[in-house]
Amino acid sequence: QPVVAVVGRPNVGKSTLVNRIIGRRQAVVEDIPGVTRDRVPYDAQWNGRAFTVVDTGGWEPDAKDRAAAIAAQAETAVVTADVVLFVVDAMVGSTDVDEAAVKMLRRSAKPVILVANKADNTSIEMEATSLWSLGLGEPFPISALHGRGSGDLLDAILDALPEAPAIVENRPRGPRRVALVGRPNVGKSSLLNRFSGEERAVVDSVAGTTVDPVDSLVEIGGQTWQLVDTAGLRKRVGKASGTEYYASLRTAAAIEAAEVAVVLLDSSEPISEQDQRILTMVTETGRALVIAFNKWDLVDADRRYYLDKEIDRELRRIPWAIRLNLSAMTGRAVDKLAPALNKALASWETRVPTAQLNQWLTALVQATPHPVRGGRAPRILFATQAGVAPPRFVLFTTGPLDAGYQRFVERKLREEFGYEGSPIEISVRPRK
């Protein structure tokens, strides 16, 4: 999600402007000279496009050089932003503090929109034209308080944003797409045979969906699912030697086409390299994951406990996967499959509001800061969730993070927000 930073002297109305953009009143703390406000991100949208607004309140009253302090604040905002809103007070005009910040802004390659706030009436609007002298192009006269001109400003922001993604309001409510995968003989066809299937005519039966004819609709737990590449399951591809390569391509294609994968394993045998490869395909493709241990009926009751421990070890890189012990033959726990799929898909599509995410993150980095490396420790400035399916996060930082610390953040993120059954991706954008 693209980031818009709001920069300017104290009291020019940055918070009011942010409130106006996010469509809330008085949600944001007012500028109070002498009060340090941290960079706070908010979710915003306009005309069906989503972006993050960062309110850069951090004004340092103790700094000896006010202009330098403001410039430093602007500098931080600029590195993390895609677009900068530079706010000045239209009633005051430009000051030397503004000019110091402008110098820095002009050095950066980032698009800057000059906002002349407090233009509550036409005569102030006229005066705002003098702000052309700042050299940032056309000033946008607005009244953040009354809303005057804010629509035009939002249009200008969208124009300047690189690739603000369209908001997918509601995904088309067709059946969810599931891949049932696993090496030969783990019991895929046996499991499939437990569900009532509708082989063809998928296109006719579900209005408005176009479905590959190799898929079929099956009922699992009273719900209809689109099982991708059931043709591959029923025709037994991959039995003869030499076709393993094609079977693996087919598995990869099914995972790619699905939203959630059920990886079937054979509980009566150790987890093999091929099993691990299939699991890796799912995590690397970023699909939700349910691991089903089939043939559980073959496992002696007294071995089950130890087997579970063994499996924990084998799957320690994906502790978040949902695991089921079932038997396609006896029907044991087969009814747990649909709830597991639904849970994994819900995690896969979870979106955490930016404010909530950063509240949590602030507390986390305060309690456990990044270890010091070569005399300095990189700081995480803020985070946004860049997407769902699977959840993707971007951490804006002052420098690269240790792999270990990044894993720590991911683990804590999972502890806080769940994501059971879904991979999550975290990328780090250090300032350059």
Q: List contacts with ligand GDP (CB under 6 A).
A: 182, 184-190, 294-295, 297-298, 327-329
- Residue 235: CB atoms within 10 A of its CB come to 11
Does 185 show up as a binding residue in the annotation? yes
Residue 287 labelled as part of a binding site? no
The number of beta carbons lying within 10 Å of the beta carbon of residue 156 is 17
- Of 243 and 359, the one with the shorter C-beta distance to ligand GDP is 243
Report whether 292 belongs to an annotated binding site: no
Report d(CA 135, CA 114) in Å as an integer: 10
The sign of the torsion formed by the CA atoms of 280, 282, 285, 287 equals negative
Residue 215 C-beta: closest distance to ligand GDP, Å: 17
- Ramachandran angles phi, psi of 403, nearest 5°: -55, -40
Tokens linked to 58: 């951090």
Cα 373 → chain centroid:
28
Question: What distance in Å separates the CA atoms of residue 10 and residue 403, rounded to the nearest whole number?
Answer: 38
What does the block give as tokens for 206? 């579900």
Q: How far is the CB of 267 from ligand GDP (least distance, A)?
A: 8
Q: Say how far apart CA 179 and CA 196 lie, in whole Å.
A: 16
Give me the count of residues in the chain: 432
Contacts of 312 (CB under 8 A, 6+ apart): 319
- Which of residues 63 and 298 has its CB atom nearest to ligand GDP in the complex? 298
Structure tokens at 178: 């599931």
C-beta of 181 vs 428, nearer to ligand GDP: 181
| Residue 233 C-beta: closest distance to ligand GDP, Å | 6
Report the C-alpha gap between 290 and 348 in whole angstroms: 12
Give the nearer residue to ligand GDP in terms of CB position, either 117 or 230. 230
Q: At closest approach, how far in Å is the CB of 293 from ligand GDP?
A: 9
Q: Is 325 annotated as a binding residue?
A: no
> Least distance to ligand GDP from the beta carbon of 321, Å?
19
Beta carbons within 8 Å of 21's beta carbon, 6+ residues apart: 4, 42, 44, 46, 53, 150, 154, 157
58 is in an annotated binding site: yes
Q: Which is nearer to ligand GDP, 122 or 243 (CB)?
A: 243
Q: Is 294 annotated as a binding residue?
A: yes
- Residue nearest ligand GDP, Cβ-based: 187
Those residues whose C-beta lies under 8 Å from the C-beta of residue 19, and which sit 6 or more positions away, are 25, 26, 27, 28, 144
> Is 217:244 a contact under the CB 8 Å cutoff?
no
Q: Put the strands of the sheet holding 392-397 in their side by side order.
A: 380-387, 392-397, 425-430
What are the phi and psi torsion angles at 65 (to 5°)? -105, 105
Which one, 269 or 310, has the nearer CB to ligand GDP? Answer: 269
Residue 149 labelled as part of a binding site: no
The verdict on whether residue 57 carries a ligand-binding annotation is: yes
233 in a known ligand binding site: yes
At its nearest, how many Å lie between ligand GDP and the CB of residue 430? Answer: 46
Segments in 286-389 forming alpha helices (H): 304-314, 337-348, 354-367
Of 230 and 354, which has the nearer Cβ to ligand GDP?
A: 230
Our CB check for ligand GDP shows the closer of 7 and 254 to be 254
Asked whether residue 334 is marked as a ligand-binding residue, the answer is: no
Q: Least distance from C-beta 190 to ligand GDP, angstroms?
A: 3
Q: Cβ of residue 198: shortest distance to ligand GDP, in angstroms?
A: 19
Q: Which residues are annotated as a binding site for GTP?
A: 8-15, 55-59, 117-120, 182-189, 229-233, 294-297
